Amino acid sequence: MKVFVISIEEENSPRLNSFLCQPFFQNGNLEYTKVGVKGGELSAKEYFELAVKGREKPLTPGELGCTLAHLAALMKFLETRDEFALILEDDAILKNNLSYQMLSDGLSKIDLPKNLLLSIGGIQMKECRKVRGEFCDFSLLDKKVLKVVPDFYHRVNYTVSYIVDRKMAKTLLEYHKPARRADDWSYLYDFDSSTNILMTYLVDHPVIEKGEGNKSLSLIENERVDNTSTLKSKYGSGIRKNLAKFKYETYKI
- What mean pLDDT do residues 147-161 have? 93
Q: Encode pLDDT of 89-147 as tens digits.
A: 999 999 988 999 999 999 999 999 999 999 999 888 888 888 999 999 999 999 999 99
Residues 163/164/166/169 CA torsion (nearest 10 deg): -130
Categorize the per-residue pLDDT at 174 as very low, low, confident or very high, splitting at 50, 70 and 90. Answer: very high
Please report how many Cα atoms fall inside a 13 Å half-sphere around the Cα of residue 223, on the Cβ side: 18
| Long-range pairs, 227-232, Cβ under 8 A, ≥24 | 227/55, 227/56, 227/57, 227/58, 227/59, 228/55, 228/57, 228/180, 228/181, 228/184, 229/54, 229/55, 229/56, 229/57, 230/55, 230/178, 230/180, 230/184, 230/187, 231/187, 231/190, 232/186, 232/187
Round to whole Å and give the CA distance between 238 and 108: 39
| Per-residue model confidence as pLDDT tens digits over 196-245 | 999 999 999 887 665 545 444 445 555 544 444 567 788 877 777 777 87
Q: In what order do the strands lie in the sheet with 116-121?
A: 33-35, 2-6, 84-89, 161-165, 116-121, 196-199, 143-148, 132-140, 249-250
